[in-house]
Structure 1
């Protein structure tokens, strides 16, 4: 920011995500510029993602870790003129001392890009023919395949889904790292861990792990999907689905929805 300022640039307004500290020093560089900060989530000692799944209980260190994770929230409350949260549920995770600066505004949906496409097709290296909307495709997606996004529950359900739908194919999008929560102790992440547990019960010819894909491919895959499986602990919403596509969520979060998305 100092380098940009030295070139003569002064912004009319600054918009930024506060979570990783990008806005922390803007007042030192441009003290008079209006600042709006995106406040995504306040980490709770109890509730939200903490203690929700009995397979991953909290520890004696959890209160200290959660407080430390909120350092950027506290540091940037005085940095911003206004704070924005995308949903009321996320707004309400923050202490009341934050609320006087907050307003709620949903991220929105790009209806010019996210729409049904009857001609959507995608090719997979293991298949001789491209998949189309005539194929029985269901999908699961997360930035990383991990328990916070219910991946372990999805994998346990997968053998029964494939048995019940003998023509169905599962297209699974996501990386093998951990975005949230504890990392897997097994090389290859939670994917490898769950493959060890349920792999013998799966028809692997109908299971396709696609890793992380370009946005255009993701959009096409969701346009092909007949059912999208979305599991999560109460937490911030990942990218989910398309407006006006034909897929319908098959399984929603393990308890109440964390937001109205």
Structure 2
């Protein structure tokens, strides 16, 4: 065996170990991504878009919440500024993900470009906390975690898009899936923490903006006002928990 063949075999072994190590971590995400991806693709299909729309959006946007929102943006009058601001605000959390991952992505070469593009909440959760075994290359491990997670999402969106174009039964109410998704995420965060002040402030500001700007125009003003409000709360160290406030009152 030549030196070149030996190098190729070694590289294949590195890739194989990284893939085998990454795969089990993505299986729980696979279940959720397939379900949500099918829902998203199905919604696109019944709204009249061919199946390759959700497939390509899942490939090149890969931001689940924004992809759901994009369904209505594509059907609404063309407003690039509103679309840009909405995408920026909805995905602003990725700025902080990127800061956290700076050290882990350093020295990974071209893999880093895809890792930056493909960093979703779930991939960030795995790649920022899991330390692969010593015989597994961490860069390739993170690459395959990210790749597999996107594969699950693209597969679900594509399948949903195909089903949405051939379905014949009444689908009234299916577009509520995005609202239901955000409600569930909100409730999970509410139950997972005692810091409920930001949630209450966010809901209150959203309702105020809904009254002031109407259901078609309230989202961007509401998010901007929330950013300002949360910055003020952080700057002046406003207590985040009603429970802490009560304890302080007793003392």
RCO greater where, 1 or 2, for CA within 8 Å and sep 6 or more? 2
Specify which structure has the higher proportion of helix.
2
TM-score (norm 1): 0.20
TM-score (norm 2): 0.20
